[in-house]
């Protein structure tokens, strides 16, 4: 099947934006761990060596994290991750990463595949939901989350932590 130049360009742009969002999602995990007791509690419940991969299927558009010595570490590649979430297309990933599609709805519509234990995945999703509540403005989070969680930290402080990686 031949793909038009326009479609190739759109895919490339969506992949770049997805990489940027995954970069900030990882930083949001780290900031949330420091600023929100619920995120800290969830991540602390993960075993050392726990690993997760969120991928779009496009070349190198993924987030690979592992818990090492009580901290989340980003890796370039993880083989045999505990959880692997693979979006069926870059288009679906783009909708999720730009706050136009929530995890629950995407799961209900079978827009991604999941490999791993469901209880570990639910813990990861709870962390993602909380991080999204900090990273996205309320008018977006109310559309993608069933319930917008109360924030324990100021959004400005969170953004500063995310941007500076403190």
CATH number of the domain residue 57 falls in: 3.30.1050
- Domain holding 142, by residue range, is 5-164
Report phi then psi at 12, rounded to 5: -65, -45
Quick check: 127 and 133 in contact, CB under 8 A? Answer: no
The rounded distance, in Å, linking the Cα atoms of 162 and 156 is: 10
Structure confidence at residue 126 (pLDDT): 93
Cβ partners under 8 Å of residue 151, min gap 6: 36, 133, 134
- Give the angle 42-138-32 at the CA atoms, nearest 5°: 25
Structure confidence at residue 165 (pLDDT): 83
**Local structure of residue 128 (DSSP, 8 states):** H
Name which of 108, 53, 58 is nearest 85 in CA terms: 53
Number of separate domains in the chain: 1
Give, for 148, the enclosing helix (H) or strand (E).
none
Neighbours of 139 (CB within 10 A): 8
The rounded distance, in Å, linking the Cα atoms of 165 and 24 is: 10
Structure confidence at residue 141 (pLDDT): 84
pTM of the entire predicted model: 0.90
From first to last of its 166 residues, the chain has per-residue pLDDT tens of 688 989 999 999 999 999 999 999 999 999 999 999 999 999 999 999 999 999 987 767 899 999 999 899 999 999 999 999 999 999 999 998 888 888 888 988 999 999 999 999 999 999 999 999 999 888 888 888 888 889 999 888 999 999 998 7
């Amino acid at each position: 099947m031949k793909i038009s130049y326009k479609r190739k360009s759109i895919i490339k742009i969506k992949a770049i934006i997805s990489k940027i969002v995954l970069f900030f999602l990882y930083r949001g995990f780290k900031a949330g761990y420091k600023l929100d007791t619920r995120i800290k509690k969830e991540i602390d419940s993960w075993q050392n060596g726990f690993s997760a991969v969120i991928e779009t299927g496009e070349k190198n558009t993924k987030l690979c994290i592992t818990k090492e010595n009580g901290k989340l570490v980003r890796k370039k590649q993880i083989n045999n991750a505990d959880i692997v979430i693979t979006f069926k297309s870059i288009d679906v990933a783009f909708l999720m990463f730009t706050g136009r599609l929530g995890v629950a709805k995407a799961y209900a519509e079978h827009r991604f595949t999941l490999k791993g234990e469901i209880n570990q995945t639910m813990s990861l999703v709870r962390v993602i939901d909380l991080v999204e509540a900090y990273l996205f403005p309320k008018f977006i989070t109310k559309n993608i989350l069933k319930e917008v969680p109360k924030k324990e930290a100021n959004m400005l402080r969170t953004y500063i932590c995310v941007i500076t990686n403190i």
